Structure 1
Amino acid sequence: MSQNINSYFDTVEGRNVLLEGCFQVAKDDGVVVLEVGEDVWGNGHYYSGDIDKLIEHYKDAHKKICPEIDFRFQVGLSRHCRIELLERWMEPFLEKDSFYSIDLYCDEFAQPIKNFKGLYRKAKEKGWILKAHVGEWGTADDVKEAVEELELNEVQHGISAVASPAIMNWLRDNNIQLNITLTSNVLLNRVESIEKHPIRKLYDYGVKVTINSDDIIIFDSEVSKEYMRLYEAKVFTATELNQIRLYGLESRGFQD
């Protein structure tokens, strides 16, 4: 992948193609609310540290491709980066009112989740929705720890919680939403198949789950395809899938 894809998109021109492609796929897929954004590292790498230029780039692409979509601007943190660097890179984002949420991703085991508490405290003060990738590869305990340490509103993946009925009940009782990307879980050999994906058990325990796309170029996983794959695999009925769809909309302030 690094030879065939990353080298192209690691340019300003390639980044623009990727961004416009993201908005176009969302438009073609009938997405109503789109939450996507930039890693704090990318501000310096692609925009020479000019946060206003970064914001305008995203706003211009949104206006050009899909102004009808409710675009929510997300701030990204790479878990393998040193905290002092993340703190410095994040400052320009904190100075603006353009951002809606924050997400932590990359290697779950790169460093302890508690290292990011200071960054998430600042994000909470800004009123951002707090999310983090956890529990795709780690344990159920890792999911609970991340929610408690970072005061998360939502967990990206979180499927390891299925190993603990107590933690599933805890997630349900605390109204913690799991944003799940099924096809990538299968293709990365995290789960055996769509049919055996733990999303069904999580849903049956009353955990709020949503269905999401993940690296569309790699996984061929537009949101509509994820819904259809679950339906065709008889994991959920159409009525249940609609309820999951409503979870996602309601969590963003929409009523169907």
Structure 2
Amino acid sequence: MNQEFQHALKAEDLEAIRRFPKADLHNHGWAGAAPEAVAAILGRRPAVLDRRLTSMDEMHAWAHDHFGNPDPSLRPQLFEAAFARAARDGLSRFEIGDDVWAITLDGSADNVTNLLKRAHNRGAPDVEWIPQLAMSRHCRIEDIRRWMEPFLELRFYRTLDLSGDEFAQPIENFKPLYRLARANGLRLKAHIGEWGDADSVRRAVEELELDEVQHGIAAADSPAVMRFLADHRIRLNICPTSNLMLSRVETLASHPIRKLFDTGVRVTINTDDMAMFGQSVSHEFLNLYKAGCLNEKELDQVRENGLSD
């Protein structure tokens, strides 16, 4: 625990908060860059979501209207901007990667990986980078496997994530991919319980043998599921502003991270898509403190939760 970090929160000093080690373990590729950086690279006006949405479809429509489909040639700049954002916010750990589908853009797993390595070296060489492979629920399993295998052969990536519409296809469909990733030494995570219910969180953890859950906030609706997560040391990587702006929670003051923390579930605080939501990790800590959701000592514990596996 760090009393100076706690003092920075109590003083509501954002710049001081930025000086302390933090992690961002839940964000999505180049969308982890700051909004103004993305706008400059794309030649658009800066945009941050300023109204609450109610569905993934609305979110995708907003992103398309404001970001479009970026020219693949801009990907190096966008990823470098994401790493640079991490450095500016004082992150000591940054988990970021790309969807395995990116192999269709850059030609090979080596090309995708080298793009990410260069972006890290240019944008945040002193920040610990946790390379992540991502998968999209809407893709066919056979396609994902074909794209994934060349990445696994590199023995470079450390985690696997699954995102997209939670209801696109049954979670059981992804078991072979997760077994393959486990056999290759990857830490396993998936987006669950953002739109689904508490039972879907437990089912995904059991079926896919997850180490972590992205979001997972629906677990707060079930004491039994919360106990299960706490007993099995399953970490939930939570994105408060994203949950608020996508209408998954009513207010930050009533965010279920409070209930999860009290039940002993390991939780961390993350950004999701900073390019869209405009809140850094330091902002997220300060926002929860100012809302009275967690106090400075509790937030310090949450900060430490993100600094180790």
TM-score over 0.5 (shorter chain)? yes
Partner of 2:89: 29
Partner of 2:101: 41
CA distance in 2, matches of 1:6, 1:221: 21
Deviation at 1:234, TM superposition (A): 1.2
Partner of 1:2: 64
Q: What one-letter code is carried by the residue in structure 1 that aligns with 2:306?
A: G
CA distance in 1, matches of 2:113, 2:140: 24
Contact 1:73 1:100 in 2 (8 A): yes
What SS is found at the alignment partner of 2:306?
A: helix
1:59-118 deviation digits (Å, cap 9, x = unpaired): 111111211011111000001111111111111111111101000000000000000000
| Structure 2 unaligned spans of 5+ | 1-62
What SS is found at the alignment partner of 1:127?
A: coil
1:172-203 deviation digits (Å, cap 9, x = unpaired): 00100000000010000111111111000000
Contact 2:230 2:263 in 1 (8 A): yes
Deviation at 1:221, TM superposition (A): 2.0
Task: Give the fraction of aligned pairs with identical amino acids, expressed as a percent.
Answer: 49
Q: How well do the aligned residues superpose, as a CA RMSD in angstroms?
A: 0.9
Partner of 1:135: 193
CA distance in 1, matches of 2:264, 2:205: 17
Superposition TM-score, scaled by structure 2 size: 0.78
**Which of these residues, 244, 252, 275, is aligned with residue 186 of structure 1?**
244
**Which of these residues, 249, 255, 260, is aligned with residue 197 of structure 1?**
255
Indicate whether 1:76 and 2:130 are aligned.
Answer: no
What SS is found at the alignment partner of 2:307?
A: helix
What SS is found at the alignment partner of 1:32?
A: strand
Contact 1:214 1:221 in 2 (8 A): no
Q: What one-letter code is carried by the residue in structure 2 that aligns with 1:72?
A: I
Give the number of the structure with larger relative contact order, counting CA–CA contacts within 8 Å between residues 6 or more apart: 2
Deviation at 1:126, TM superposition (A): 1.0
**Which of these residues, 225, 249, 252, is aligned with residue 167 of structure 1?**
225
Superposition TM-score, scaled by structure 1 size: 0.94
Q: What one-letter code is carried by the residue in structure 1 that aligns with 2:235?
A: Q
Deviation at 1:16, TM superposition (A): 2.0
CA distance in 2, matches of 1:16, 1:4: 19
Contact 1:216 1:222 in 2 (8 A): yes
What SS is found at the alignment partner of 1:186?
A: helix
CA distance in 1, matches of 2:118, 2:64: 28
User: Structure 1 runs of 4+ off > 2 angstroms?
Assistant: none
